[in-house]
Amino acid sequence: MKEINILWFKKDLRIFDNEALCEAIKDNDILPIYIIELDIWSQNTHSDRQWQFCKESLIDLRNALAEIGQPLIIRTGNVINIFDEISTKFKIKGIYSHQETGDWLTYKRDQKVREWALSKNIIWKEFLQFSVFRGNLDRNNWSKKWQENSEKNLLKAPLRINSINFSIGEIPSDEIFTFKKETCPGRMQGGRKKGLERMQYFFSNKLESYSKDISSPEKSFDSCTRLSPYICWGCISLKEIFKKANISKNNNSKMLKSRLTWHCHFIQKLESEPELEFREYHPFFKNIREKNNELLYSWSSGNTGFPFIDACMRSLNFNGWINFRMRAMLMSFASYNLWLPWQDSGSELANKFVDYEPGIHWNQCQMQSGTTSINTNRIYNPIKQGKDHDPQGKFIKKWIPELKDISLNFIHEPWLLSRFNQEEYEQINYIRPIIDIPNSTKTAKKKIQEITKKDGYWDISKEIYLKHGSRKRLRKNINNKNRDYYLFPIGVEKRFRNKLITYLLSKQIFVTVNFRSITDLKYYKKKYKNNSCPYSLKWGEETLSLPFHSKTTTNEINIIFKTLRSFFILN
């Protein structure tokens, strides 16, 4: 019986910079296979738009493998059953794949595959897809490990692989899936070739406007990298983008690289605790929200009566993508103003995203719902967001034709028209607001604050931070005899933050603060313009997150300072 290695493709649909491929061909011929698992695809987080992108990527991968000697083999069914089928034809020496930090089903499936491989005395070797690490992890060294992995050399695709006598199979008909009927005409096309075209276009034409246009739902469609689906499905490796960004030495490339770091940071959380897909970070937030299918449908279909929310949702439904700030706003609105369970609204958003990445998605859902306890609770005001990022209402009018003729004065708040011309307002065929923004925001804040006051809340929060909180690798400032401290006190009110910063400056400690808005940045620049510290503040993005809260006292700040000295000083 011929000996082979199975090269199991999952969400790494490329042959360039594919470590699993390069290692698998070293000692045996390979059987390259992708398995379509219907139980995974039948989840409500999955959708036709994702499958179409995946299918196009599979076709591209099959062609790329065929060019070097062996087309991609495709099967539909249970992974272990298919591996058993292969074992009747060949002696399987090893299984080679990339690590996958997917959803709960893929996590449990991998456990079963590992048990099967052990029972058959088959080695399963997994390689890093991203800079996400398994096993016992020291979060304080994570940034260093990320950097080291991201700077590794890119691996060239093999020039030739031997063909293997095994039916390649066909991509199944769309009819076998149970997706709800939908269209997504604006989505990007799958496959490595399309991904490389988009990457080249971005770095040649759009990098310079990246930071300026990243928050606009309209401009970001062209100015953001739009590479997230290709990263998600593994058509392009993260290292490729990182090295491309390194060519340019400017703030835009630096900002892009920081986004790549955060990409892995969030996936690492789910890797370390897979239950975060459905279980709250902090147990005090369990079951605090109520199911409401009517509100969920209104939100999901873009019919809430709030123009900017509805425009963003309709755009997402059409394109399968929207920029990060608008994703956060949509989730915040569902969690705080509609008070819907994040699991329900999160599932709705997941199947809309062609780039659905569980590790990023579920962590962001919880962050925007206030259930982590280690992140600032942000309740986005959709009216303010609309005025800030769509001041002329062009984006709103594009996606909400019901408002195409309304005056700019009322485009963000059409209900105000009724105060001036009730008859004209009644003629507008647009849904009336389904909730009251000020009241629902006030109620949500009150409910969250009541939870934070419960005994034991902050003790649990501290443990969550130690396991999942972000750290930035500290560096020595050659012009500073003291050490550098990178600080952003999470959830701290401005007056307490000032106490902390002032205290650290008085000790000649170098402070970096990460700002949430331009207004915040201007405030601090003005306040500390003439500070007595001989080392200026650095207005950057290198941060250390600490689980402080709005009741931080001066005595606690003293303790914090001692903790910083004892724990975060570099030797």
Give 147's pLDDT tier (boundaries 50, 70, 90): confident
DSSP, collapsed to helix, strand or coil, labels residue 476 as coil
Count CB-CB contacts under 10 A for residue 152: 13
First to last CA, the chain: 58
Sequence-ordered alpha helix ranges (H) in 120-250:
142-150, 192-201, 210-213, 220-223, 228-232, 238-247
| pLDDT tens-digit readout, 154-174 | 999 999 999 999 999 999 999
- Point out the least confidently predicted range of 185-199, 220-234, 506-520: 506-520
3-state SS class at 250:
coil
Percent of the chain with pLDDT over 70: 82
pLDDT of the residue at 104: 97
Q: Which two tokens stand for residue 93?
A: 């020496």
Instruction: Report the alpha-carbon angle 301-230-40, nearest 5.
Output: 65
Phi then psi dihedrals of residue 458, to 5 deg: -75, -25
The Cα 56–Cα 34 span in angstroms is: 13
> pLDDT tens digits for 240-265?
999 999 998 888 999 999 899 999 99
Q: Which residues, at least 6 apart from 261, have a Cβ–Cβ distance to it below 8 Å?
A: 143, 146
